[in-house]
Structure 1
Amino acid sequence: MASMFSIRLPKKLLKRMRERKDINWAEALREAIRRTLNEPILPVTIENLICSLRDSNEWGMLLCLYLKAELLSPHYVVRNLEIIYPGRATEIIDRLNSMLRERGIDPSLSGSFEGRTLRDLVKEGLLMYGVYDEFEKEVREKLSKENWDINKVVWLLSQYFIEDLYMEYEPAFSIEPHGFIRTLEIMLDKEDVTNIVNKLVKIGLVFWDYYSSRAYSHEMIKGADYARPIFAEFFTNKSYLNYSTDLLKDENFLAFLKWLSREYGLDFRAIMEYAEERAKAEFKGSKSFDEVLEELIKRGIVLIDYWPHRRRVGRRSSMPPHWIYKLTPIAKREILPRLLIEALSKLQL
């Protein structure tokens, strides 16, 4: 999992660095930091493989290597590659598998080296040797050519992936897709948005995956690790939040907040899938619940998440699927403090 940090440099030094287009400064800094900290080096076989593929511009195979290291399901490696490189997925995988076997590496990347999994070592190598940088650059270029709707979808995903940029731990960057897809259908007025999600896969921003355990089995939408800086930038972008101070006095918005806060405060409201209509009937506004929900989703204020069915395992009981209604993190941060100030201003203290 990649993290970001910034350093301050003299202007002249920065100018000289920018003049050297032939040097990947991020890669150079990472290597210098690793040497300074005396961090263990990567296995030579992995290092040579990554550098060889990078130097020969085999970006499809490098992406395949990343997906092998990142995704839980090998079948979904094929699925994602087929979306990105139609008709070439099998060829890319076969070529990469052949190269891995030649170097004595299990194509499934199982196993470990000095206490670290091969998957983690591969991802670290892709980061250290500038592959992440190139992937991120390519995603940025593709997004810059996309329309407002696609960029708003990326913003919406950032609201699912990130709760708080300043958390001490990195977010998981994966979601069960039902809630996101339902929210997206409402936001874009479309009945089927699978092609839009696949467009983001083709861009290289997210990937399909599958999680399976004794308790859960479900698909996931997984954000690319190298795209974390992109999601962080979208997360704080207020231009996708359609908010005005009039909202604080809107009876239907206030009624929605009251409805939302019945169980867990304003964090979220979890409703069993089969009991959703009964819960909606509790809403007391001048418009219908669905009308208000649609408006708030389109304004970037509310999203719907999803908890999948949980099977009974050991002492843990089974749990039916739930729809999760909640404010987007940016709406919570921008609107709730103003709502509190508005309420306090009405008190005669």
Structure 2
Amino acid sequence: MRYKFCGIFFFVSVLLTVKLSAADWPVSGNWPQELSSDFGPRMIKGKFDFHDGIDFPVLKGTKVFAARSGYVKEIGWQDTDEKIGLGYRIRIEDDIYGHLLPPSDTYPQLVEKGQWVEAGITPIGWSGATGNASEYNTDGTVKKEHSHLHFQVGPTGSATNPLKIFTYDSSIPQIKTVELYGDVVPVDKLRANGKIKIDAYIETITKDLDVIEFSLSPDRAGSGFPVKFDYHNWDSAHSTLERVKSYTDQVSPAEDHFFYEFDSGNLSSGDYTLTVKATDVQGNSTTKSISFTVDWTAKIKLEKAEASPEIFSPNSDGTKDKTEITYTLSEELAPVVEIYNEKGDLVREFSIRT
């Protein structure tokens, strides 16, 4: 009997674990393709921000179901000021449902603190636009509502991408372009001699981008590579917010630009390949590369330069002359032009792009 009891306990324990890890969408719809905001960095109200969850654009009063089974841990307003944060929210284990409607005659309370709820079966509340999901007039009245359900896994500051708990067919990230800007010139091949800015543009239909990596081959000590944008490394993610431009809406794929600047002066002469790797929450990844050459042996010779009219000729009306400089170079690179006065003082310096 003793061994039989242990076997039964183990069987029940396994079933319980499976049930806890299973997840159903809390509201019906074409998810995650039609999410209105994904997890990660974004621009909101003119400021860089990090979105700790995902947003389901549903109408006010839509019934919300438990995504995962568990006990209700918290119910109520996130803050004493009902106009900020997630507003009225419910927490079930680690899962947070935000911007819900508070209980009323029209929208009664559906669960109690301490109650056990079943994934996909138990209704827990009603979607709304409480907290910062609404715009407010100076007198505190609602100016405009942006009704949606905010769903978050884990506390703010250490949350994980909620899409990790759901089952769906990933679209796999698409790296549309990888471009280099700055001190680079497309001659017979892309030449880089100075500071270079990378812009990697990525689209994800299922809005589940997770990790972006920049690598350089061959790598050199002090190059600054590899570079990693990891949404689940909170400190790293926040330090790179201004190097990410992200946009998401309900009808389009998520659009993300990742920027990074490095100095090719830290590299020796030679050919290099920069590779961008994009990985989604399911572990699917894709790569795209761009090659460039660093050549510190190349010499630039200014063969001819003419200025018209004379740079320092004064006008009687006090206005400045427009100066046109005609030049011929021995190499198709971007030189720096320095202008000196008759005393030998540097009065202006600017770059000329070919």
TM-score normalised by the chain length of structure 1: 0.24
Higher strand residue share: 2
TM-score normalised by the chain length of structure 2: 0.23
